[in-house]
Amino acid sequence: MKAFRLYRLVVVTVALFLWFTTAAFSETVITGKVVGIADGDTITVLQDKTQYKIRLYGIDCPESHQNFGTRAKQFVSDLIFNKDVRVIVHDTDRYGRNVGQVFYNDLDVNQAMVQAGYAWVYPQYCKKSFCSAWNGFEQAAREKGIGLWSHPNPVPPWDFRRGVRGSSAEKNKDTSKNQEVTYHGNTSSMVFHQPACKHFNCKNCTAVFQDREEAIEAGYRPCGGCRPSGIHNASLKNAARGTY
């Protein structure tokens, strides 16, 4: 009788161990419709009347006020907004968001963002075995000069969030009339300026655009004083009444 009780205790103990082990190592899967796009790497998925905020695992897209932030958001929106997706949750971040891989049919959306040049592989957090392949996709996008890699020395978003706005080489680069015009956007007023405008170096003019269309696409409006038109005009150096 004692032997049977001991045997039953052992069986129950093993069963509980296996159950807890399986629960600990299994990954949550969320399936539902994408009902929100916050930015290139953050979406909202509706599953059974419950909304889940999803942070795309292992990648980091440009911030909304960075170059290509708007384009990254539009790219992921075109891929999956209002569509049914499957999310394999790998982690939960400090904001309580589910961090995972997003799949639309057989398309790995995280990977697609990297391949299209709209995201960096996030080295601090991309620790899965497939991250090495993603690094290869990022390098290929760099070499092709697509997406954000079409700009020289783009600032990684994790540096941008710490206040880094470009290398000293970029800050000191020649801005003579023989070069292509670069527009600077004020992240507070959402106004962009010509280089010759007196507000070109204002403390909030940290968004940089290579052409007028890109600035407008990012949600900025032209300065009322220097009136950036896409053509460099030396006379604009006297502009003194730009709105910012």
Q: Quick one: pLDDT band at residue 197, thresholds 50, 70, 90?
A: confident
| Among the listed residues 231, 223, 218, the one whose alpha carbon sits nearest the alpha carbon of residue 151 | 218
The pLDDT assigned to 125 comes to: 92
In a domain, 157, yes or no: no
**Do residues 188 and 226 share a domain?**
yes
- Rounded-to-10 torsion of CA 72, 76, 77, 83: -170
> Burial, 17: exposed, middle or buried (Cβ in 10 Å; 0-12, 13-18, 19+)?
exposed
What's the per-residue H, E or C state across 19-32?
HHHHHHHCCCEEEE
Q: Residue 55 catalytic?
A: yes
Tell me how far apart the alpha carbons of residues 41 and 185 are, in angstroms, rounded to a whole number: 23
Predicted TM-score (pTM) of the model is 0.60
Tell me how far apart the alpha carbons of residues 45 and 37 are, in angstroms, rounded to a whole number: 9
**Do residues 142 and 188 share a domain?**
no
- pLDDT tens digits for range 100-158: 999 999 999 999 999 999 999 999 899 999 999 999 999 999 999 999 999 888 999 99
**Do residues 143 and 195 share a domain?**
no
In a domain, 111, yes or no: yes
Mapped onto helix, strand or coil, the DSSP state of residue 199 is coil
Active-site residue (options: 5, 8, 97, 241): 97
**Do residues 77 and 186 share a domain?**
no
Q: What is the CATH number of the domain that holds 234?
A: 3.40.10.10
Q: For the chain, how many structural domains are there in total?
A: 2
Active-site residue (options: 63, 71, 138, 214): 63
Q: What is the CATH number of the domain that holds 115?
A: 2.40.50.90
Active-site residue (options: 5, 27, 55, 86): 55
**Do residues 71 and 120 share a domain?**
yes
In a domain, 8, yes or no: no
Q: Which domain holds residue 125?
A: 29-150
